[in-house]
Each structure stands twice: as structure tokens, then as C-alpha cells.
Amino acid sequence: MLRMLSITMLLVLVPVVSAQEPATTEVETVETTEVTVTETTTPSFGGDLWTRSKLTGDWGGVRNDLAAKGITLDIDYTQIFQGNAHGGRSTKNALRASGSGDIELTLDTQKMGLWPGGSFLFHAEPKWGDGINPKVGSLVPVNFDAVIPGSGEGAMFTLSEWIFTQGIIPDKLAVIAGKLFGARAFDTNVFANDERTQFMNTALRNNPIIPAFLPYTNLGIGVIAMPTDWLTITTAVADSEGRAKTTGFETAFHGAMNTTIIHEWAFKVKPFGLPGNQRIGFLWSSMDFSRLDPNEPFNMSADLAIKLLGLDLANKVVGKLAKFRDAGDNVAIYYNFDQYLYTEDEDPSQGIGLFGRFGWARQDVNPIAHFYSIGVGGKGVLPERDNDTCGLGYYFADLSNQMPPQYHSEQGIECYYNIEVTPWLHISPDLQVIVNPGGTDFNDVSFVYGVRMQVNL
């Protein structure tokens, strides 16, 4: 049972929506960090075409009736067009499209008349196209939505997540078990945590050190404790070899090997009355990792880089390219913060704030030894545009000294503006500048432009 966790923890009782999403959430949250163990409310999907939360509305009242009985179906569609204007691997025919869907079915056991405090979440992901990532060739993919649930395979469809959540003590203690996308639960951030509505770059979505321990997606079990309204403690045990296209049972429950433990402390702070969060986490994996050696050959292709970031079995992929000495287990720590600098008096969700991340991992094992990011995010910064969001972020991936000498670092900048055309339609122009894509060439700079359309059906 040890291997069964997934990063399920911070999604508590019902699918919890990011703090940056529109106000039409299915969960009425009591503030902690990103974790909420709270009473649910029945959403309303009615309204005219310009004000409703979903494009297809309430289905003649059926959707509202189902929600009142604890059955909610959400369908989102994301389409991204990006081009590589300069540098990187290639600018020839470098205008690419990619897209994805998110189909989420939520079952609330209390509203269904079964038992209180329980919920089931099933998340399916259709995906097509690898986008601009192969053309840029960056170590950290510039289009995270095109990476998940898999890359290099064209169109695919997976049941990526299935989660059972049970509240034990209301607003104090909950447990979660199932298969979940690891980076969605830990290392969350108000301004930089949703590839569909915020930053597209993987480095500004989550700390890229974490997926080497908790790949997308894996079986697991965890506990969320909230002893006070300002502290959330999350501990999870997960299968280190999870894959989106498999159930996970073929690798989980096979003893204590290839198991990851993640532990996070999340503090809710309010300096000068402005909301913020501070998080610190620890990761340990019992999986046998390979030791990096600067004298051995190494090929940092774009597809390999994705796998090195944990979206596949990183150490096994590396092992095919060079012979490394066994390094045993793996250890990492990370830190994360978001802090509002200004909020509107009439609507505290509108404002401007800072965010940042730091990560450290053993550099004799991990290609990225240190990671840093910092940026600014905001909502409703323009008059009469209360639900628009925007962000400007910078990241630095410091590669291990145990890599061959031509590999040193990669850094990048991204800015986006997310326009709410209607509550169900968002358009986001995006610009990225990647310095040393792939971590090798000191003189190479890639300019990536793009636009994203996100539709809530």
C-alpha cells in the first residue's frame, strides 16, 4: 500500500478550481492554502449566451438537476497556435498547432444520498499535436499543454485521473487515493499553476525538479491535515513509475522499491492585510537512479528533455544513452510563494502580486540541480476588465556540474494576457524568449509567439 499515492492531496473533497479561474466554481472554499475541505454548493449553468459560465448552458435544466443530485460534468477545450520566430532547433515551417480537452466527471456522495464527505473524480484527456516544442528544442518545454498526457504520439486519449476523496474531520483532515496528476496537487501557486489560463511554459507551471520523483500520472494515497486555518500539512506516498496510459497497478504494490514520498507544509500569510502563501516541500524516492558522469556521452534532445523532467521513466531513458554508476535513491527540496501586493476593496480576488519558486536536487543524479523562477501576476488590472488575468515570469534552470561540460543552463521569460471574451471563452496572446534552449549554446536565443483559446463547454 506504500506505493499507492498520487499527488492527490491538495485537490480535496471535490475538484478544486484554481484561485485564478472565474468566480463560477463548483466549490465554495474556506481559505486555507490551496487545499479546501469544505461544503459544496450546487452550481448554476443558466443565463444567456454572454453571461453563462458554460457555452452549452444548463441543457434545458438537466445540467442543474444533475448538479443538485451530486453529478457534475465539465468539458473544456484548449487550442494553441505557436511559432518559433528565431533560434532554437528550427524556424522552418515553425508555426504549429496543438490542442487538448479536459472531461471531468464529479460524483458527490452526500448529494447522491450515499454518505457524507466523499467524492469521486474522473478526468479524461483527449490531446492532439506536439505543438512548437520540437522546433524550439528547449530543455523545459515551452508548451506544457502539448506535453501532457504524452508527447511524440500525435492524437491520443487517456483516462489520466480517477480519485476518491473522503473527509474524516470537516475542515481538519481528509484522505485521498487513486491516480492523479502529481504537479496539480503539490507546489500550487495562485499566479502560476494552470497551463490552460496562465503561463504556457512548463517552468512557470510547476517546479521542473518535482516530476522526476512524481511523473504524470501515478497511483498514490495521502493525508491532508489542517490543524489551523493558516497551516496545511500534506503527506503522500506515490508510485514513482506512473504513466498516463496505464492503470498503474502493473508497477504499484510491488514492494517498497520505486516509491516516492512527498511532504509539504503550506502557510497562509497576510502581511499588511494582503493574502499570500508560503510552501516548503521535501521529496524522496527509493527508485534506483543512475549517476551522471561528465565523461559519458549525453544527448539532450527535446523529447529526451521532456522525459528527463519526469514525464516518462527518466533514469531508464538516460541509461540507454550512456553507462552510469548506480546512485541509489534520490532527494530534493522545493520552496514556493505567492503574495498579493494590492487588492481591490470591493473584490479581493482582483489585484497584483508576486510569485516565485526554488528547487534543489542531487546533482549527481538530476540533470537540473537548481531551479529558480520569479514573476508577477494579476487579475482585473485594466479598468472594466475585471476577469482578465495576466503574468510576466522568468525562470533559470541550472544544470548539474556532473553533466558534460557543454551543458550549463537554460533560462527564459514569458508574458501573457488572458482576455475573458465571455465567462466561457478566453483568448490569451503569449510571448516567450528562451536563452540557450537545450542548455548548451551561449549565443542562441529563441523567440516564441503564440495565442491560446480556451472554451468551457
Neighbours of 209 (CB within 10 A): 26
Q: What is the CATH number of the domain that holds 297?
A: 2.40.160
- Digit-coded pLDDT (tens) for 160-185: 888 899 999 988 999 988 887 555 67
Is 382 within the bounds of a domain?
A: no
416 inside domain: no
pLDDT given at position 120:
94
Q: What angle do CA 20, 25, 29 make, to 5 degrees?
A: 85
End-to-end Cα spacing for the chain: 38
The answer to whether residue 173 is domain-embedded is: yes
Decide if pLDDT at 384 tops 70: yes
Residue 434 lies in a domain: no
Dihedral angle at the C-alpha atoms of 411, 243, 18, 30, nearest 10 degrees? Answer: -130
Q: Identify the CA nearest to 34 among candidates 274, 238, 231, 261.
A: 231
Q: All 3 cell numbers of residue 108?
A: 458527490
Across the chain, mean pLDDT equals 80
Average pLDDT over residues 201-216: 87
Residue 149: domain span: 9-331
Which pLDDT band holds residue 307 (cuts at 50, 70, 90)?
Answer: very low
- Is residue 338 included in any domain, yes or no? no
249 belongs to a structural domain:
yes
Is the pLDDT confidence value at 321 over 80? no
Instruction: Examine residue 112 and state whether it is found in any structural domain, yes or no.
Output: yes
Which range (240-254, 329-343, 378-392, 416-430) has the least confidence? Answer: 240-254
pLDDT over 90 (residue 147): no
Confidence of residue 29 (pLDDT cuts 50, 70, 90): very low
Count of CA atoms in the C-beta half-sphere (13 A) of 197: 26
Q: Residue written as cell 511523473?
A: 215
Report yes or no on 108 lying in a domain. Answer: yes
Short-list 201, 208, 148, CA closest to 452:
201
Q: How many domains does the chain have?
A: 1
**Contact at 8 Å (CB) between 334 and 210?**
yes
* Residue 259, pLDDT score: 83
